[in-house]
Amino acid sequence: MPLDLVIRNATVIDGTGAPRYSADIGVGRGRIVEIGKCSSLAQRIINADGLIAAPGFIDPHTHYDAQICWDPLLTCSSWHGVTTVIMGNCGVGLAPCKPADRDVATWNLVHVEAIPYPVLSRGITWDWETFPEYMDAAQRRGIGINVGFLAPLSPFRHWSMGEAAMQRAAAKAEIREIASMLRQSLAAGAFGFSLTVMPQHVGYKGLPLACRKASLDELRSYARVLREAGHGVIEIALTKQPSGLSEDEYELLDLLSSESERPVTWLNLRDRDDAPEAWQQTLERAAPLLARGCRPQVAARPLIVEFNLRNPFIFGSMNSIKPAFGDKSPQAQKELYSSREFRRSFESELARRPILRGLWDRARVKEAINPALKSAQWKTITELARARNASPLDVFFDMVLEDDLNLTFMMPLLDINEDRVARKFSDPRTMIGISDGGAHVDMLCNAGYPTYLLGHFVRTRQAITLERAVQRISSEPARFFGISDRGELKVGMAADITVFDFARIGSPERPEIRHDLPGGGRRMVTPAEGVEYTIVNGTVLYEHGAHSGALPGRVLRSGQQVA
């Protein structure tokens, strides 16, 4: 019987870390059936002479929970050779959700993931209520790549408790109901559950995201659901300092890991110029957790953010700016930013935020709408303050008001030192992730990290071997999440394959702007270079960057893969 597809003369990097070799790859019925010299006939042959064939890349941390409704290709992750994403991270999501609570779920995404409300209100299809129905709806609509779902704890608590979920711990009966819903979601194929305890994660009406109010007794009960199921993981947005691990944070990780007897992944282990040894110290401190299979997530791209004060997420951990959230009107925000009392409070808090230290010297005006402010573009706040003979604090807020809250800033924030970053993502105790694909669309786009890793750190800097880099973004996340039939190129595995030109693969450091969200909404995207073919479940999804028209992706179900 002829094969569906043969990739001929490829240089195979199989995802295990083993040395590369030359071979053909034969595909039939969505799986790899031959590796070697394929003499069988095939319906389609791809000539991969001079190209690398690798397992499709797996992104463990995305927020396409809403975008999946209007963009079945899940761009821009799928442009970069990613064939599987994990969604439902950080405890925020759209299911389960009763019809009366849809606005609550929508505003949670607005505040936590910085996706504009008009985009969400136009784009979310709401063809589900329960979490299993949400997973089924994704498959029914059709998807280009594979998706695995974590059950985000906030909507589960809101389903059971209403708005009280954002104000208090759950009572015993509520805990039982939430645990039962999690149990049903695990049985339906969820890959575990997620939560956040980060103070900047505020949602509807500026209240804490519901999972932040969960008690330790609650979390103990929910973790035991995973122990009973025998599969799944926990993801938690945890650390107040993005490279640290406080005593309380360690104890929470220990509780989740020991009570679930399952791996836990946490955010985030960033490199900081103000504390360059912090991430290494955290790894040493977390050694007992790491020995159980827990993994902090690290980035392979520098965190360079764009921000404005319509959505002041970058300052979300500061109490002084909390009144700017809570679905406030632009006029209410402008009144706040004009207040002398607010400015004094903001300045005092800013001095206690090491990550934002040097804000005035690092932040540059990227874009101004007001013609009178065009000359300010690409200048730092310090430079502008000097020109105006005023304090940087006042110049910052005054110019924001002069541009009617439209002024956009750009600032390098974290993971800037490439030598330290390369050591961090090469460390086997970490997991490469935190792309945030689908989120913070007006601030950044790091979903292109696989091609950036391969082009910049492997080819240009030679900081890690190609075999090791591919292993880090394919088989390692697959094994962590228990996806047993993906992440490697071997006979019997699902045919998720990325074919790329190593001489050209890459992505630009700075994203570009497109207005392709529902209603013409603006987002930042990162194009890919050098990805020649992306094959999902044996079907070509992209050829030379062009979509084939097929939607071969699947909703993956935890505990139901075939090795």
Give CA–CA dist 409/364, Å, rounded: 5
- Residue 18 inside a domain? The answer is no
292 and 145 in a common domain = yes
478 and 408 in a common domain = no
Last residue of a domain, one of 377, 412, 447: 412
510-516 long-range contacts (CB < 8 A, ≥24 apart) are: 510/304, 511/444, 511/445
DSSP 309: S
Last residue of a domain, one of 380, 412, 444: 412
Give CA–CA dist 154/157, Å, rounded: 5
- Burial degree of 126 (CB within 10 A; 0-12, 13-18, 19+): middle
242 and 163 in a common domain = yes
Domain extent, residue 339, equals 307-412
Residue by residue, pLDDT tens for the chain (563 residues) are 689 999 999 999 999 999 999 999 999 999 999 999 998 789 999 999 999 999 999 999 999 999 999 999 999 999 999 999 999 999 999 999 999 999 999 999 998 888 889 999 999 999 999 999 999 999 999 999 999 999 999 999 999 999 999 999 999 999 999 999 999 999 999 999 999 999 888 889 889 999 999 999 999 999 999 999 999 999 999 988 889 999 999 999 999 999 999 999 999 899 998 899 999 999 999 999 999 999 999 999 999 888 999 888 888 888 899 899 866 789 999 999 999 999 999 999 999 888 888 899 999 999 999 999 999 999 999 999 999 999 999 999 999 999 999 999 999 999 999 999 999 999 999 999 999 999 988 888 999 999 999 999 999 999 999 999 999 999 999 999 999 999 999 999 999 999 999 999 999 878 899 999 999 999 999 999 999 999 999 999 999 999 999 999 999 999 875 43
DSSP 151: E
> Domain holding 124: CATH number?
3.20.20.140
425 and 401 in a common domain = no
- Residue 247 inside a domain? The answer is yes
Q: How many CB atoms lie within 10 A of CB 369?
A: 12
Give CA–CA dist 363/378, Å, rounded: 9
Give Cα separations from 47 to 305, 413, 530 (angstroms): 40, 42, 15
429 and 405 in a common domain = no
Give CA–CA dist 276/362, Å, rounded: 18
User: Which structure tokens are listed for 187?
Assistant: 């049985």
* CA 428 to mean position of chain CA atoms: 20
Contact criterion met (CB below 8 Å) for 541 and 77: no
Output phi, psi for 401, to 5 deg: -70, -40
Give CA–CA dist 259/148, Å, rounded: 23
208 and 69 in a common domain = yes
- Residue 22 inside a domain? The answer is no
Q: Into how many domains does the chain fold?
A: 2
354 and 271 in a common domain = no
- Residue 16 inside a domain? The answer is no
390 and 340 in a common domain = yes
- Burial degree of 16 (CB within 10 A; 0-12, 13-18, 19+): middle
- Residue 217 inside a domain? The answer is yes
- Residue 52 inside a domain? The answer is no
Residues 6+ apart with CB under 8 A from 291: none
User: Which structure tokens are listed for 154?
Assistant: 């906030």
- Residue 108 inside a domain? The answer is yes
Give the pTM: 0.93
202 and 89 in a common domain = yes
175 and 224 in a common domain = yes
Give CA–CA dist 381/360, Å, rounded: 5
420 and 389 in a common domain = no
H-only helix segments in 67-130? 102-113, 117-123
- Residue 30 inside a domain? The answer is no
Contact criterion met (CB below 8 Å) for 515 and 68: no
Last residue of a domain, one of 412, 433, 467: 412
Query: Strands 233-237, 192-196: parallel, antiparallel or unpaired by DSSP?
Result: parallel
348 and 288 in a common domain = no
